[in-house]
Amino acid sequence: MPVYQEMSKQQLSQEKQKLEKEYAEFCARNLKLDMSRGKPGKAQLDLTADMLDCVNSNMELKAEDGLDVRNYGGLDGIPEAKRLFSQLLDVSPDEIVIGGNSSLNLMYDMVSRAMLFGTEEDCKPWCKLDKVKFLCPVPGYDRHFAITEQFGIEMINIDMTSDGPDMDTVERLVSADEAIKGIWCVPMYSNPDGITYSDETVRRFAALRPAAKDFRIFWDNAYCVHHLGEVHDHLLNIMDECKQRGSEDMVYEFASTSKVSFPGSGVAVIASSRKNIARLKNQLSFQTIGYDKINQLRHVRYFKDADGIREHMKKHAAIIKPKFDLVLQMLEQEIAPLGIGTWNKPNGGYFISFNAMEGCASRIYELCQKGGVVLTKAGATFPYEKDPKDSNIRIAPTFPPLDELALAMQLFCICVKLASVEKLLA
Amino acid sequence: MPVYQEMSKQQLSQEKQKLEKEYAEFCARNLKLDMSRGKPGKAQLDLTADMLDCVNSNMELKAEDGLDVRNYGGLDGIPEAKRLFSQLLDVSPDEIVIGGNSSLNLMYDMVSRAMLFGTEEDCKPWCKLDKVKFLCPVPGYDRHFAITEQFGIEMINIDMTSDGPDMDTVERLVSADEAIKGIWCVPMYSNPDGITYSDETVRRFAALRPAAKDFRIFWDNAYCVHHLGEVHDHLLNIMDECKQRGSEDMVYEFASTSKVSFPGSGVAVIASSRKNIARLKNQLSFQTIGYDKINQLRHVRYFKDADGIREHMKKHAAIIKPKFDLVLQMLEQEIAPLGIGTWNKPNGGYFISFNAMEGCASRIYELCQKGGVVLTKAGATFPYEKDPKDSNIRIAPTFPPLDELALAMQLFCICVKLASVEKLLA
């Protein structure tokens, strides 16, 4: 079959009829499949079942500093949890705070505090400024953009390249505009592109000289250990790079075990400079007496150390790699020959980023939804849910079992083709 | 022995010498006792040990609506947790949101959101106003006052009576001053006085007609089931009273299991009108995907229903009632005959509120600290840590074992006497 763009109107019309028949057959099956979020599947949740036994009624529940983890106290986390996550992020234990169950919550709170109290002692709270802007590499994580939108922060799209955000533009903008106070980054296996920032990109981030002294890089290292195979990406340690340049106050790094142990019942962590962590701990002391230390202990007892986490992630990979392979194989087979889409082939993370022909993403979403497969909403990967090209769709293959995923992808491919044909005929 | 006020200078000097000797003997024992916070003791934590076994690797972990509690979702809590806490607070399940591990965190976040987004759609965010004021019944909970101080909210002292806050003043102020946006209340077994608001007081709260449409009552029902004995206080349901008057949007009610199960690993909850809860859920959806549902399930499986919680609280009472009795008995024996202090005799809660002779609280705190017993800091029970009379001391008897508590109270009584004699001689 020729690529769609080279087909005649008549050929396209015939193809459309064929696709509409296939689509109607699919609709008749009344599927109800969800590929909307980066959610682990049941088999992945079962992997950490034993963690629930790591703390029980027969055990002494003291942290290694003697603190009874069942009682109040321990604002920044029990020492063994701080050690575990400092190993994982390759920072010092006094450069991190162990949070609650959600890194998103830590990020939201960090922006919220910046709004109300500022990020530096001698800078104004952001809510007192006329204008606050954030740079948003696109496509990106919808929940990041939702936070900044919620706080009335103006978002500026930054294109992603295969090395990460377009750093020429980032450098130019942050050095010129004092209203730019932050940038959202998912530096490893970016959401949704699956791109890991190159060493050069990380170094250029560390070397930024923003016009705003209170500028912050929100470094959401959500997928720091979420490789799909033995051959995987490597991310330079931004904290190390910043320390060499004295710019470590510029970084807030986030991670969690949401996709390592249990989403919603994991442990989240924030890392930053000692100065920032000291300020954060003071601010946190007004908000809480401490996070769930029993759950911290549960995680430490189960994983033991960062290598324990890394080993555990291989079990996740064994479950989700075949799902990624299936998606890629079907796209390769069904879409590639038609020239109506491009996509990434990530070495980790939770998504495959699909770029349809311009102006087709919303229609593909709509067709899939009516056909019984919920995708992440078209546009969601852009600030204000506006994809300028209406092209990007985030495919989240992890949640459905393999057989359901195959069905969902069959429908997806039909919808991509149908939307493309419609577009070409329009 | 006559009351101190009736002693001659000579008698007081003799008494002072005697007390200084007793105090020095105590100091020589190098005690290190902590009565600073309302912290459960180890025996109390052991009571819920079995809860940790209520969720383990052999169990299916689904909520009754079929949601896998190990995965993302369930922003406002699993249905059975909502039912449990709606029973406990006697509200409808759609009038509550189950939060994380800390009601303090829920309160902080509620004030934080009010600062940034306001409490009503058509009212300004508090941070955009020239002045925001809160009423603070005193003595009160230091962490409440710390939150409002942190946000730059001006605090106005309201005297506590044996029926709760002085409602004449509350009514007069809130109806006259639009800048008054809130009041902190611990309506049952108040912190530290142990006073339960009378039915009349609750009704007057529900009937408030504040000048500010966006005024909120922060109803911290921290000790709603924390009775010390069979004879206990009863608190009228403010939500019911408000509903009769159409004022239910005025109330944010908070509770938690911090002093029921595990402090720091419990479950916190917020209740309010359906309108407020809808607004809250929308706002929360930017902050988190959901709180720890495994821990919610753990609590529901352990307690089963609100009666289960109430029964469980009797075990707590059996442990802490003797501690309260000891404190009261020693005050009765050592302090009452000398006329140098008054105190409450609460039927529940976590504190005994001691009022020393004016100008003596700081000195008592200091003497105790040097003697090896850490009390809640004098002044802490007042906004800005300023007790106008320097009189109130919050005694927290729950944490030390009974023998240590006896020692600590011996020292406390000596310090009260010594500070009083010093004052009378000055």
User: Computed from CA positions of residues A330, A332, A338, A339, in that sequence, does the dihedral angle turn out positive or negative?
Assistant: positive
**With pLDDT > 90 as the criterion, what percentage of chain B qualifies?**
98
Residues B91 and B235 in one domain: yes
B265 vs A73: CB contact, 8 Å cut-off? no
Instruction: Please provide the DSSP assignment of A393-414 as one string.
Output: EEE--SSS-HHHHHHHHHHHHH
Nearest to B263 among A72, A104, A108 (CB): A72
B252, part of any domain:
yes
Alpha-carbon span B326 to B383, nearest angstrom = 30
pLDDT tens-place string over residues B258-275: 999 999 999 999 999 999
**Contact residues, chain A, for B55 at CB < 8 Å:** 52
Query: At B68, is the secondary structure helix, strand, or coil?
Result: strand
pLDDT tens-place string over residues A412-426: 999 999 999 999 999
Using left for φ > 0, alpha for ψ between -120 and 50, and beta otherwise, residue A377 falls in beta
Sheet holding B251-256, edge to edge: B96-98, B268-271, B251-256, B216-220, B180-185, B133-138, B154-161, B164-165
What is the pLDDT averaged over residues B80-107? 98
**Contact residues, chain A, for B292 at CB < 8 Å:** 100-101, 264-265, 292, 295
Q: Reply yes or no on whether the pLDDT at A1 is more than 90.
A: no
Nearest to A40 among B39, B50, B71 (CB): B71
| Structure-block tokens of residue B8 | 């001659």
User: Is the ipTM beyond the 0.95 threshold?
Assistant: yes
Of B304, B334, B355, which residue is a domain's last? B304
Residue A194's Cα: distance from chain center in Å? 9
Which residue(s) pair with A20 in the sheet? none
Residues A88 and A30 in one domain: no
Going by C-alpha positions, the residue among B119, B123, B89 that lies closest to residue B103 is B89
What is the pLDDT averaged over residues A48-72? 96
Alpha-carbon span A64 to A206, nearest angstrom = 35
How confident is the model at residue B1, as a pLDDT? 66
Mean pLDDT, all residues of chain A = 97
User: B-contacting residues of A 240-279, CB under 8 Å?
Assistant: 258, 262-265
**Contact residues, chain A, for B49 at CB < 8 Å:** 57
| Structure-block tokens of residue B399 | 């944490």
- Tell me, what DSSP letter sits at residue A51? G
| Residue in the structure block whose two tokens are 């321990």 | A74
Range of the domain at B372: 4-45+310-425
Query: At B219, is the secondary structure helix, strand, or coil?
Result: strand
pTM listed for this prediction: 0.97
Of B261, B285, B304, which residue is a domain's last? B304
**Contact residues, chain A, for B42 at CB < 8 Å:** 68
Partner A contacted by B306 (CB < 8 A): no
Of B286, B304, B322, which residue is a domain's last? B304
**What is the rounded end-to-end Cα distance, in angstroms, of chain B?**
21
pLDDT tens-place string over residues A266-283: 999 999 999 999 999 999
Q: Please, which pLDDT band fits residue A65 given cuts at 50, 70 and 90?
A: very high
Interface test with B, best of A58, A68, A70 (most B CBs within 10 A): A70
Partner A contacted by B302 (CB < 8 A): no
Residues B200 and B92 in one domain: yes
Going by C-alpha positions, the residue among B186, B185, B190, B174 that lies closest to residue B133 is B174
How confident is the model at residue A83, as a pLDDT? 98
A71 vs B104: CB contact, 8 Å cut-off? no
Mean pLDDT, all residues of chain B = 97
Residues A78 and A31 in one domain: no
Alpha-carbon span B361 to B377, nearest angstrom = 9
Q: Reply yes or no on whether the pLDDT at A404 is more than 80.
A: yes
Residues A299 and A167 in one domain: yes
A100 vs B104: CB contact, 8 Å cut-off? no
The CATH number of the domain holding residue A23 is 3.90.1150.10
Residues B67 and B26 in one domain: no
The CATH number of the domain holding residue B73 is 3.40.640.10
B262 vs A105: CB contact, 8 Å cut-off? no
B265 vs A74: CB contact, 8 Å cut-off? no
What total number of domains does chain A contain? 2
**With pLDDT > 90 as the criterion, what percentage of chain A qualifies?**
98
pLDDT tens-place string over residues B354-367: 999 999 999 999 99
Alpha-carbon span B378 to B369, nearest angstrom = 11
Q: Reply yes or no on whether the pLDDT at B2 is more than 90.
A: no
Interface test with A, best of B34, B47, B52, B294 (most A CBs within 10 A): B52
How confident is the model at residue A2, as a pLDDT? 78
Cβ B407 vs Cβ B371: under 8 Å: no
Q: Reply yes or no on whether the pLDDT at B370 is more than 70.
A: yes
Residues A285 and A374 in one domain: no
CA contacts within 13 A on the Cβ side of A104: 22
Q: Please, which pLDDT band fits residue A215 given cuts at 50, 70 and 90?
A: very high
Residues A300 and A314 in one domain: no
Q: What is the dihedral of CA A28, A32, A36, A37, to 10 degrees?
A: -160
Residues A358 and A269 in one domain: no
Shortest Cα–Cα distance, B142 to chain A (Å): 10
Residues B121 and B39 in one domain: no
Partner A contacted by B146 (CB < 8 A): yes
Residue A229 dihedral angles phi and psi, to the nearest 5°? -155, -175
Using left for φ > 0, alpha for ψ between -120 and 50, and beta otherwise, residue A416 falls in alpha
pLDDT tens-place string over residues B174-225: 999 999 999 999 999 999 999 999 999 999 999 999 999 999 999 999 999 9
Shortest Cα–Cα distance, B217 to chain A (Å): 19
